[in-house]
Structures are given as C-alpha cells and as structure tokens.
Amino acid sequence: MIDDYIWCYSAEGFHKVCYRQWGESNGDNVILCCHGVMRNLHDFDYIARSLADHGYCVVCPDIVGRGQSDHFQDAKNYSYYQYILDITAIIARVGAKKVDWLGTSMGGLIGMMVASQPNTIIRRLVTNDIGPIILISALKRIETYAGKEALFNSFDEACQQMRKNYATFGIKNEEHWMHLFKYSLKELPEGRWTTYADCRCMVQGLNPNRQETDTPDIDENGNIIFWKYWEKISCPVLLIHGADSDLVTTEVVEAMKQYPVKLDSYSIEGVGHAPTLMEDDQISLITDWLKKTA
C-alpha cells in the first residue's frame, strides 16, 4: 500500500489530489474506487485490502475538496467535469488501460458519466446505493447535515454528531465507527474539531445549475436525473443498495431495469444510504460478482 498524490489542473491553476494505491498495476488489473460527496478514500480501506488479495491494483482518490486533497478557493470549480479530469490523470499515472469502477453515491454517479462516454475506460461498473436519479426527498435529508460548516468543541461531540448523521449506514461494529471518525475529523489550531471535507462541495457538487459542463437534468418533481447517461452504458453493472435506502428505492431499481443495461442488483437488509462496504458479506458480493463477470 502506498499513499501518493498528483498535480491536476483547474481554473485556479494546479491543485493536489491525493490517492491510496493497494497492489501493483499491470495495466489490466486496476479498480478505481470513488467515494461519496462528503466522504474520503478511507471509506474503501476494508474492501481495498480484500480486492488487493484477489490480485487487483486498487486506486482510491480523495476527490478535490475532500480528505487530504486541496480545496478550491472558488466553490464553482467543484464540478463533475473537474472530478473526471482529475481521476483520468490518476488512472494515467498508474498506467491503466481499462479500469473497473466502484463508486459510492457521488462516486457512482461519476462512474455512470464516465461509463456512458465514447471509448470509455470503464470495463465494469459497481454502484453503491446510487442510481440515475437523486430523489429530492433524500437530498433534503442529506442537506440537513452536509453542506454546512461543522464545528465541534471536542472530538467526542463530533463523533456523537457523526453517529446521528450516518445512522443510515447501518454500522454495527464499533471498529468501523472509529475508522470513520479517524479519517473524517480534524482538530483545528484553536482546539475545536471539524471535517476534512469542504462543506461547499455538497451544495456545488449536486446542483445541476452550478455545473458548467456535462450537466444532469432536473425533472418536474425536482429530482436530479442522470438517465441520459444511464441509457448509454454498455458495460456490465452491479448495483448494491440498502434495503431501507431513500435514494435507491424499489421504484428506482425497477426503472433502471427498463433500460437495456446489463444490470445485477442486490439489496442489503438493515441498511439505508449507504452500505459501508466494510462488512465481509458486503465485500463478498462485490468480489464474487467481479469474479463471475471476469
């Protein structure tokens, strides 16, 4: 395992994008893991170890504005287009010809966008609790805690709030909670605590009206829709979703199946948005599917 970074270019000049790599790349064994809108690369630490044991080179970036990567001065530069450019540079760095893509929430949306492109570099796509539609009701719930600057007087206070915010993850193991806390929170010079993620990523990154290129659409109910990308995907797709998810409902799954996409889907009981991919059974769903579709 190595931690590294690459310099990427934006309207502000160059910015640093950090990534963690598990295993060696031979050009054909790379799987790219892309996290959710306010999350970071360490969400994949558990599954990355398992995938590396199966012979994969696992590459997990901190999308700009999250984790250890740089933050933009101007929030308008947080866009799907920028994220795709940055990830493409990392894929080139590790020498991948094609990649399998595992994306949670926002990371899955980015994967859909990349998979829909001509000459796409994605061989197989795994989306974790995200489909081609962001239901406005779910988005409003997430916005109650994300997209706002979070300041806490102590580490314990911050952890308590995170347990509330991420209760839908269905985390049962205290070790997994501590992993989440460790890589989500940082202490400020004055002694208070906050998150590593730039809170402006939430507002900017999920609003189609604030995307300069490659924009999704909004339907008559205010839902953000990505069907124009979904219908162009030709690679095999695995959808994993929480049985209690308010983002990937039964209706969303059925709508996805109406398109000529090679789709397999699995529902995880006792979980909402989104499965952590830290539990052995969740990890096995993905490794088994990758083996089956090899």
Q: Is the peptide bond before 274 cis (omega within 30 degrees of 0)?
A: yes
Please state, in angstroms and rounded to a whole number, the distance separating the CA atoms of residues 250 and 171.
Answer: 22
Please state, in angstroms and rounded to a whole number, the distance separating the CA atoms of residues 212 and 210.
Answer: 6
- pLDDT, residue 145, reads 86
Cβ atoms of 116 and 156 closer than 8 Å? no
User: Does the reported pTM lie above 0.85?
Assistant: yes
Per-residue pLDDT of the chain (294 residues; tens, 9 = 90+): 999 999 999 999 999 999 999 999 999 999 999 999 999 999 999 999 999 999 999 999 999 999 999 999 999 999 999 999 999 999 999 999 999 999 999 999 999 999 999 999 999 999 999 999 999 999 989 888 887 889 999 999 999 999 999 999 999 999 999 999 999 999 999 999 999 999 999 876 555 555 555 567 889 998 999 999 999 999 999 999 999 999 999 999 999 999 999 999 999 999 999 999 999 999 999 999 999 999
Please state, in angstroms and rounded to a whole number, the distance separating the CA atoms of residues 22 and 30.
Answer: 10
User: Helix 280-292 to helix 45-53 angle, to the nearest 10 degrees?
Assistant: 40
- CA 8 centroid distance within chain: 19
